[in-house]
Amino acid sequence: MNVSPLQQARYEYTPKLPGMLRHGISDICVSEGEATQSVADQEQIKALFPNTYGKKEITFQKGQNTSPAKKQVVGVILSGGQAPGGHNVVCGLYDALKATNPENVLYGFKGGPSGLIEDDYLVFDDAYIDQFRNTGGFDIIGSGRTKLETEEQFEIAAKVCAKHGITAIVIIGGDDSNTNAAVLAEYMAAHKTGVQVIGCPKTIDGDLKNDDIEASFGFDTATKTYSELIGNIERDCNSAKKYWHFIKVMGRSASHVALECALETQPNICLISEEVAEKKMSLSQIADQIADSVEKRAAKGMNFGVVIIPEGVVEFVPEFSALIAEINEMLAGSKAEEFNALPDWDAKYAFISKRLSEESMKVFAILPQSIQQQLFLDRDPHGNVQVSLIESEKLFSALVGDKLAARKAAGTYSGKYSALHHFFGYEGRCAFPSNFDADYCYSLGYNAFMLIQYGYTGYLSKVSNLSRPAEEWVAGGMPITKMMNMERRHGEDKPVIRKALVELDGAPFKYFEAHRDQWAEETCYTFPGAIQYFGPSSVCDLTTRTLALEKGMC
């Protein structure tokens, strides 16, 4: 197989491990901390997880390994969307497993959780693993979004594990996937199957974090990739001096990706969804905020700029959320068929205008027609609007254009305005992992096997102190139930891992808030450039600005 020089060099990179994991398997022992409880709804969570709730946090340290000698047959699953570094979690897990006992076996279940249910797998060996070290993507075994949540699925999973003699399952995924890992762990423990379940924190969105999980893997690489592209656009923008670039970035509901990219590139405007919700900002107010920047810069002869928009921002606009709720209700059941049978958009618009409230119709009427139609074309399996598919970058550029046209008619604005649009998402999910993500992910996988070897289940592999050099990282584990609360999902109260949104009183947002007025009016662009894999540690092992600010490192 032909490979590029960089690809070959990445195969040969040796990931750095936390100091306590470098001593050799025989010299790693466990230090147990305090018992834990869930972040909320303690009694409900405890009742749902009687066998795995309230367990102690643990830390690995140098000392005699006291784990029982036992052959381990482990299964691993990649779940959900791709995130850079996933391959290294598998590689770290494999290397620790083989270092403990060459007879240990690692199964990879193909295509996500469905691979476990369908008994579709491969058995890893050195030759196969070595093709994927330090590379992006999830093609080592593929991924999927099947949820493991029903009694029938758990029964099948237990039978598949028994068939192969599997002693543990490692699920590499985000908040939903690790919620499923917790439920599966509880089932396996309750039915005394002898199968342990360990999770690993993955998502480029950055919303799987808390006091224990300082960063989800993939966030570092994805935001560096997007920031390089945004920096390139800023350089082009400052060269051509004639376009306003509206850039939507992936991140689901949270604005962590948008905020990190803003801290890296210093655009003229960056919307933060959580602030929009806090201030109850309307679409008109958001458009005015951007238009103010356009007008101020135009007064200085700068008819160009860059706007970063988080993927889920429209969900946080109260009036837009109300509109979405009314549309979902409008098209519930057989009403969708009636709507879809109408002959053209004019007829559909009349149908809509008769059924929306006056307030929601006002919001709907100011939307560009393409966005109006999109609200009715793209539905999820439950019949609801897929908000993440709304082209909010085009929505806001159009609303700003309307604002500027009104200002020009009033004689308060005389500049030029021309908008271009971008959406950065898939470009970052499978990039070659940064050194940070390569090291972090390898450590998570290595650490996951240590949790298995010491008999833990329902735990998340945890590596902390991440703002320091890898030698100073701290490895251990935490019960997944510690992160859980009850939320309403599809009409039922469900135990789920609490999503972490941007904290408006946190250091990253406060830094952004202190500088954004200057960025809005002046050209303060910074250009991160491509991810660096070779060279001084100060460049190659650089952490995210978010983590550095949270830990007081800058």
Domains contained in the chain, CATH given: 67-218+433-471 (3.40.50.450), 219-429+506-550 (3.40.50.460)
Query: Using CA of residue 90, residue 96, residue 98, residue 103, what is the dihedral sign?
Result: negative
Lowest-confidence segment of 44-48, 151-155, 376-380, 410-414 by average pLDDT: 376-380
pLDDT tens per residue, range 458-480: 999 999 999 999 999 999 999 99
Q: What is the DSSP string of 391-439?
A: -HHHHHHHHHHHHHHHHHHTTS------EEEEEESHHHHTSPPPHHHHH
Whole-model pTM? Answer: 0.94
Q: What is the pLDDT confidence band of residue 193, given thresholds at 50, 70 and 90?
A: very high
For residue 380, what pLDDT band results from cuts at 50, 70 and 90?
low
Structure confidence at residue 199 (pLDDT):
97
- How far apart CA 218 and CA 45 sit, in angstroms, is 29
Per-residue confidence (pLDDT) for residue 158, from 0 to 100: 98
Q: What's the rounded Cα separation, in Å, for the pair 294 and 491? A: 44
Of 60-64, 175-179, 266-270, 490-494, the least confident? 490-494
List Cα–Cα distances, 252 to 179, 389, 411, 424, in angstroms.
18, 10, 39, 12
Distance from C-alpha of 74 to C-alpha of 85, rounded to nearest angstrom: 20
Dihedral over Cα of 308, 310, 316, 322: its sign: positive
The CB-side HSE value for 138 (13 A sphere, CA atoms) comes to: 26
pLDDT at 23: 77
Catalytic residue set? 205
Region 280-285: what's the mean pLDDT? 96
* Tokens representing residue 495 in the block: 């135990």
